[in-house]
Homo-oligomer: A and B are copies of this chain.
Amino acid sequence: MNHDLLITNATLLANPADGHLQMATYLAVKDGAIVGIGAMADLDAQPEADHIINAAGNLVMPGLINCHNHGAMTLFRGLADDLPLMTWLNEHIFPAEARLVDAEMVYWCSKLAAAEMILDGTTTVADAYFHEDAAAKAFCEAGLRAVVAQGIIDFPAPGVPDPKQNITAAANFLATWQGKNSLLTPALFCHSPYTCSPDTLQRAKGLAREAGNLFFIHLAETREEVAQLKEQHGCTPVGLLHKLGLLDAKTVCVHCVWLEEGDIGLLRESGAKVVTCPESNMKLGSGIAPLAELLAAGVEVGLGTDGCASNNDLDLFQEMGSCARLHKVAAHEPTRLPATTLLGIATEVGARILGLAGQIGRLAVGFRADCLIINTRQPHLTPFHNPETLVYAGRGSDVATVLIDGKVVMQDRQLLSFDLAETLDKVRCLAKRVKTTG
């Protein structure tokens, strides 16, 4: 059999959650899928393949899955750090967004996000922002697998100046991108239950349900949000979604920092998903999500970086480490959130949450070939006793080569899928406009 691509001599971490390493392994790819995995000893002496990558001394694992990002917000990276939440949002982020966010900005800044993610080992992202047509275009050109969710909010928004049109715009977005590109799935993103009315939430979820798409929402991120919703609706954010009939297996609740009694039960019973963004929650001082309790209840929890305005990077390796360490110290319990749990969350669990189970998230025959070749022969990864080291000492820059859907999009730290220099230049020009009004 002639393969499109063959990775040889790999140390394979096929299913990150089990932490098991297979030494001296090959992985064969054809038409974007994994068609063979086995011991080097069982490979033909002169295997036929258009492209052979010798991964000797390197670790090969599934690409990481970022379940929540606002890619275009790379432009606001470090714009206004260390400020009170409302000052940051009202005096910096919202005004900068109102002034600068258009389709061109979203295109270039999402492309920068795609470059950063690919270079740091993320092969699939769930993105949520406005002008998502432009983000979708950027991700497609980057060769990044993406679930792209058009933002919905009951205020004038970039690309949707009249909030009355927000559902129509969302419907158009779904219609445009449904089935258009095999790497891309459209979805919807309601900003939050305090910026979208119950009617908007229900219409948006109805639209997503009808089209079979995911529905994302920021939920229970801060104590203030919970207090506000209780006053307005007499229930918690999760309770409100339940009351409105919005919780099901295709609803993805992002943050869930402040859950109260009953909330976890509602999430579990409905099959709704949770995405945690620990570094963003830490930097904004929002709080610590009850991850151990969610996992113990059987709720599926994915990992997201959130946008660059509050993280400030998109490195899921560091995000795994931060997540594990945060929950250990919060509970005064070093056994909390073991590294292998995080490795599973950032791969196979992420795939399930994004509706891509069985396609990505582990390396097995029949799965799409989304994988990373990691250089473990560096001082900070030596010795490499076990895969936990990826979580506690690994970082995105350890990823040497990235395949998405069988295509080599980055090799030896060089992005291959598009012209990075052009994107960096474009974003730097846009950044000058951010700075001009401070």
Is the C-beta of A333 less than 8 angstroms from some C-beta in chain B?
Answer: yes
Q: Known A380-B119, A382-B74, A385-B77; judge A82-B329 contact (CB<8 A).
A: no
- Tell me which of B287, B308, B334, B395 contacts A397 (CB under 8 A): B395
Which of B78, B377, B388, B420 is within 8 Å of A78, CB to CB?
B388
Would you call A384 and B78 a contact (CB within 8 A)? yes
Which residues 272-310 of A have a CB within 8 angstroms of B?
279, 281-288, 308
Query: A116 an interface residue at 8 Å Cβ cutoff?
Result: yes
Contact partner of A325 (CB less than 8 A), chosen from B279, B332, B333, B427, is: B279
Residues of B within 8 A of A430 (CB): 383
Closest to A222 in B: B332
A435 to B81: give the CA distance in the assembly, Å. Answer: 44
A194 within 8 A of B: no
Partner of A380, one of B279, B287, B313, B329: B313
Whether the Cβ atoms of B332 and A287 lie closer than 8 Å is yes
Q: Are B82 and A339 in contact (CB under 8 A)?
A: yes
Given A282-B328, A326-B329, A382-B424: A315 and B82 interface contact (C-beta under 8 Å): no
Q: Does A85 contact B (CB under 8 A)?
A: yes
Interface string of A366-398 (1 = CB under 8 A from B): 000000000001111011111011001101110
The contact of A393 among B75, B77, B393, B424, by CB within 8 Å, is B77
Most buried by B among A279, A313, A329: A329
State the CA gap A282–B328 with chains docked (Å): 6
A421: min CB distance to chain B, Å: 9
Give every chain B residue within 8 A of A383 (Cβ-Cβ): 74-75, 77-78, 427-428, 430-431, 434
Q: Given that A120-B380, A282-B325, A383-B431 are contacting pairs, would A392 and B311 also be in contact in the complex, using a CB cutoff of 8 Å?
A: yes
Q: Return A54 CB to nearest CB of chain B, in Å.
A: 18
Q: Roughly how many angstroms separate A318 CA and B112 CA in the complex, as a whole number? A: 22
Interface residues of A in 71-103 (CB under 8 A from B): 74-75, 77-79, 81-85, 88
Asked if B380 and A283 sit within 8 Å, CB to CB, the answer is no
Q: How far is the CA of A236 from the CA of B80 in the complex (A)?
A: 40
Residues 43-94 of A at the B interface (beta carbon under 8 Å): 74-75, 77-79, 81-85, 88
- How many copies of the chain does the oligomer comprise? 2
Interface residue? A338 (CB, 8 A): yes
Check: A401 CB closer than 8 A to any chain B CB: no
Q: How far is the CB of A411 from chain B (nearest CB, A)?
A: 16
- Contact mask A225-248 → B, CB, 8 Å, 1/0? 000000000000000000000000
Q: Are B380 and A339 in contact (CB under 8 A)?
A: no
Residues of chain B within 8 A (CB-CB) of A84 are 334-335
Contact partners of A377 in chain B: CB under 8 A: 424
Q: Which residues of B contact A331 (CB under 8 A)?
A: 285
CB neighbours (8 Å) of A83 from chain B are 334-335
A326 touches B328 (CB 8 A): no
Q: Which residues of B have CB within 8 Å of A435?
A: 385
Chain A 117-138: CB-based contact to B (< 8 A → 1; otherwise 0): 0011000000000000000000
Contact of A314 with B by CB under 8 A: yes
User: Is there an interface contact between B392 and A81, defined as CB atoms closer than 8 Å?
Assistant: yes
Contact A386 to B85, CB < 8 A, known contacts A281-B329, A329-B288, A334-B284: no
Evaluate whether A385 and B79 lie within 8 angstroms (CB atoms) in the complex, with A119-B379, A313-B393 already known: yes
> Do A393 and B312 form a contact, CB below 8 Å, given A78-B385, A282-B329, A379-B116?
yes
Q: What is the chain B residue whose CB lies nearest that of A117? A: B379
10 contacts between A and B (CB under 8 A): A78-B393, A81-B338, A82-B388, A281-B329, A282-B328, A285-B333, A318-B318, A395-B396, A395-B397, A397-B397
> What 19 new A-B contacts, CB under 8 Å, besides A78-B389, A313-B380, A326-B326?
A77-B382, A77-B385, A81-B338, A119-B380, A223-B332, A281-B329, A282-B329, A283-B329, A284-B328, A286-B332, A287-B332, A312-B389, A315-B380, A318-B395, A382-B428, A383-B430, A383-B431, A383-B434, A397-B397
